[in-house]
Amino acid sequence: MEKISQEQKEQALIDYEMRLNKRISVGKTIIIAIAILEILSSIFSAIANANIFTLIISVIISVALLSGKTWARYLFAAGMVINVIFISYVLIENNAAPSFNALPSVTVIILLINLVYAISCTVLLFTSKSVSEYMYSKVN
């Protein structure tokens, strides 16, 4: 059995720390992108619907997400799951509706983009090791 030298141990530790820092950086990028997109979406929604309350809640949750709060991660992901269910329902109902009651094509395209975004956010927030590492690094 070959013994590992102190130099090899130190190099292995350095390599591990480099991989960890890269995962944390990727996780940070993902969280920042999600938070920015959520805030921009809420700003657009607040302007279109004159609903400032939604904007305030989105900003609070996004800031909490950026600061590594675990509750914000799960609350945000749960909101995205509800969004997926709601959009799916609207699209299914639209498909079943008579042609004179159907949603305009632009609306359907926007809903599909929002659906893909919501599914992506949910998957990333629940399964990404990079996001987990970033959240852990912010807490500790």
pLDDT per residue, tens digit, the chain (140 aa), is 567 788 888 888 899 999 999 999 999 999 999 999 999 988 988 888 888 888 899 999 999 999 989 999 999 999 999 999 999 998 888 877 676 677 788 888 989 999 999 999 999 999 999 999 999 998 87
- Radius of gyration over every alpha carbon of the chain, rounded to an integer in angstroms: 21
Whether 128 maps to a domain, the answer reads yes
Give pLDDT, residue 49.
Answer: 83
Whether 66 maps to a domain, the answer reads yes
Give pLDDT, residue 1.
Answer: 54
Whether 111 maps to a domain, the answer reads yes
What is the pTM for the complete model shown? Answer: 0.81
Whether 1 maps to a domain, the answer reads no
Nearest in space to 133 (alpha carbons), one of 31, 27, 17: 27
Give pLDDT, residue 96.
Answer: 72
* Cα gap 61→120, rounded to integer Å: 18
Whether 104 maps to a domain, the answer reads yes
Whether 47 maps to a domain, the answer reads yes
* Cα gap 62→33, rounded to integer Å: 10
Domain residues for the domain of 18 are 6-139
Whether 11 maps to a domain, the answer reads yes
Give pLDDT, residue 25.
Answer: 95
Number of domains in the chain: 1
